[in-house]
Amino acid sequence: MLIEQLESLTDDLAELEAWSLTGAEVREVAKAVQKARTTMDAALARIAGAADEMGLAADDGATSTTAWLANLTGIHKGEAAKLVGLSRVTTELTGAAWISGEVTTDQASVHHQAQATSTGWKNRRARRAPLVSRPNALSPSMN
């Protein structure tokens, strides 16, 4: 059923005659299309995550989920890599806002990168903490 709905949406958009819309309709349609586009990106990222967990890339002879997604869908490998990375969006808030179209794919990506960077810094600080608390730990022994 979902596939039929997506195909119907594709057909409807292909038949769109933007020139026949009023200014108000152009504004509404532009926002609705962007929201749908964002939601579809989030859905495709979820699908990529599921494919990764299932090992579909290996099953289909691809070297990675990114290569698998790019080959299957015809999207650029850079876009596929972004979506595969975003399939790991761990915060419920970002994931929910993205799938509902409240934040764009680029905004979700920035949030994901910031979260990964923040986690990386926290991990580095945690590893460094014992050395900071013992500043002479790396100094040659003065005995």
Residue 83 to residue 38: CA distance in whole angstroms: 11
For residue 70, count CB atoms less than 10 angstroms from its CB and return exposed for 0-12, middle for 13-18, buried for 19 or more. buried
The pLDDT tens digits for 30-83 are: 999 999 999 999 999 999 999 999 999 999 999 999 999 999 999 999 999 999
Q: What percent of the chain has pLDDT over 90?
A: 58
pLDDT of residue 66: 97
Per-residue confidence band for 93, with pLDDT thresholds at 50, 70 and 90: low
Average pLDDT along the chain: 83
CA gyration radius, the chain? 22
What is the pTM assigned to this prediction?
0.74
Residue 32 to residue 59: CA distance in whole angstroms: 37
